[in-house]
Amino acid sequence: DAGVIQSPRHEVTEMGQEVTLRCKPISGHDYLFWYRQTMMRGLELLIYFNNNVPIDDSGMPEDRFSAKMPNASFSTLKIQPSEPRDSAVYFCASSFGLAGGAYEQYFGPGTRLTVT
């Protein structure tokens, strides 16, 4: 399998612009997660989906952030409008589901976002 695929790998944008990050999970995985990694806050879970349905978005920092999963093989994380403090590495991860448990998550290579 190709693993979790994220695009773009790097994104540089100006404050106020809309940014869309994309993710293709591993085929067959029914959970998808979006994380953000910064030096100050470490790895934070933003939102996760189960069978394309958002389960927990309590980590989404503000209304400027939104995420969708229109089908089992694609998800987007959108920031509109972007701000310099959104600069971070954004990871997408996917996993199988386990009733009453948790399987390991497999991470994509990340998107390094820089907002100037």
Partner 1 sequence: AQKVTQAQTEISVVEKEDVTLDCVYETRDTTYYLFWYKQPPSGELVFLIRRNSFDEQNEISGRYSWNFQKSTSSFNFTITASQVVDSAVYFCALSESDTGGYNKLIFGAGTRLAVHP
Residues that bind partner 1 (CB under 8 A): 31, 33, 42-43, 45, 48, 50, 55-56, 89, 91, 93, 95, 97-110, 112
Rounded Cα distance between 65 and 80, Å, is: 7
72 or 81, CB closer to partner 1?
72
Closest distance between partner 1 and the C-beta of residue 80, in Å? Answer: 25
Closest distance between partner 1 and the C-beta of residue 89, in Å? Answer: 7
Rounded Cα distance between 1 and 35, Å, is: 22
Which residue do the tokens 């976002």 mark?
A: 113
Q: What is the DSSP-derived secondary structure letter of residue 16? A: T
79 or 93, CB closer to partner 1?
93
Closest CA to 43 of 59, 64, 56: 59
56 or 83, CB closer to partner 1?
56
